[in-house]
């Protein structure tokens, strides 16, 4: 079992080369970035060419779960194969005093590993983890998955043993040789994900209360949860 207090290992694959000072090896930062993510992009090689597609994701301990249909060609292709999984949160746009120095503020994770299928006897647990992460406790409000639904769903698991974390934060860098006057505004434009008003399905009876899972999801988007 991985010691959560142990720093993330840095090797030839996980070492960040550009702006290496932004690499973070604190495993708790890795967990926080993944726990905020609803979507991961998974890269594989198909017929000698790269292919990257989005997947619903959730962290389960020291692994990352990826959700898909048994009919998904990419799920079949990724199973048992090396994959590269990325998650990025764009936190803001950096307005420096030149476009050359302008950039972004972000938190990103890159995971290298082999995608293995979750065994049948663990699939229900894995899907509960995914569902409660994506929909904030929805499994307590609806019926359990049927055997047919479980059979139609594939969950892949990727170990977090080889992950790199990069965090770009703070104010814009100031070039001491820059001749642009300080009267030109410089700073950060924060960016966040915002939840809209819940939209009930047409067959929902009037007056039906919005469930706690949706309220919690809205609070999460607002940074209140």
Q: What is the pLDDT of residues 143-187, one digit of tens each?
A: 999 999 998 888 999 999 999 999 999 888 877 776 666 678 899
CATH number assigned to the domain covering 20-168+210-219? 2.30.110.10
Q: Comparing C-alpha atoms, which of 174, 165, 192 is closest to residue 95?
A: 174
The rounded distance, in Å, linking the Cα atoms of 168 and 90 is: 10
Do 212 and 132 form a contact (C-beta atoms < 8 A)?
no
Tokens of 212: 């706690």
pLDDT band at 124 (very low <50, low <70, confident <90, very high): very high
Whether the per-residue pLDDT at 60 is higher than 90: the answer is yes
**pTM for the full model?**
0.91
pLDDT average, residue stretch 86-103: 93
pLDDT band at 217 (very low <50, low <70, confident <90, very high): very high
Q: Comparing C-alpha atoms, which of 99, 101, 97, 102 is closest to residue 179?
A: 97
Spatial neighbors of 196 by CB under 8 A, at least 6 apart, are: none
Tokens of 206: 């009037």
C-alpha to C-alpha distances, 12 to 25, 50, 109, 168, nearest whole angstrom: 14, 21, 16, 21
pLDDT average, residue stretch 23-42: 97
Strand 103-114 relative to strand 82-95, pairing: antiparallel
3-state helix, strand, coil in the chain (%, to 5): 25, 35, 45
* Dihedral Cα 45, 51, 54, 57, nearest 10 deg: 10
Q: Summarize pLDDT for 109-123 with one digit per residue, the tens.
A: 999 999 999 999 999
Query: Between these two residues, 138 and 2, which has the higher pLDDT value?
Result: 138
């Amino acid at each position: 079992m991985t010691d959560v207090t142990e720093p993330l290992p840095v090797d030839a694959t996980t070492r960040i080369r550009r702006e290496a000072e932004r690499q973070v090896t604190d495993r708790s930062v890795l967990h926080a970035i993944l726990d905020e993510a609803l979507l991961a992009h998974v890269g594989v090689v198909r017929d000698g060419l790269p292919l990257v597609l989005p997947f619903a994701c959730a962290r389960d301990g020291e692994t990352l779960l990826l959700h898909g249909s048994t009919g998904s060609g990419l799920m079949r292709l990724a199973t048992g194969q090396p994959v590269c999984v990325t998650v990025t949160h764009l936190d803001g746009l950096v307005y420096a005093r030149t476009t050359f120095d302008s950039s972004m503020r972000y938190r990103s994770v890159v995971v290298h590993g082999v995608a293995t299928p979750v065994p049948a006897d663990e699939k229900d647990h894995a899907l509960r983890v995914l569902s409660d992460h994506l929909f904030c406790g929805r499994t307590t409000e609806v019926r359990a998955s049927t055997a047919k639904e479980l059979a139609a769903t594939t969950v892949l698991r990727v170990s977090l043993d080889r992950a790199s974390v990069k965090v770009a934060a703070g104010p814009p860098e100031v070039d001491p040789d820059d001749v642009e006057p300080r009267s030109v505004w410089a700073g950060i434009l924060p960016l966040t994900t915002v939840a809209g008003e819940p939209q009930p399905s047409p067959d929902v009876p009037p007056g039906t209360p919005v469930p706690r899972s949706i309220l919690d999801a809205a609070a999460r988007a607002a940074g209140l949860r």
